[in-house]
Amino acid sequence: MPVMTKTKHEELVIRLQTRYATLFDVFKPRELKNNGEGLSGRYRHYVSPESMCGTRGDAMEIRMAVEDFKTILAEIKRL
């Protein structure tokens, strides 16, 4: 069982919460801007666009948030 100072524990908890909140925020769903958002090529629109959603963050923001979250989890894992 890891043992650490309360200050270190609080710091890790705050960082974990902050990074989780960022990841959660960029992955929240949003309505499509148009019926063909995200499509390319010969397909111009979804059959049922009301069943689709986008994310608030773009692909790069989501990748970065995931990597940040993985980093804090790795730090906690090392305890």
Q: What is the pLDDT of residues 38-58, one digit of tens each?
A: 887 776 888 888 899 999 999
Spacing of C-alpha 66 from chain mean position: 6
Record the pTM: 0.82
H/E element, 54? strand 54-55
Q: Tell me, what's the pLDDT at 55?
A: 96
* SS3 label, residue 29: strand
72 vs 3: CA distance, rounded Å: 17
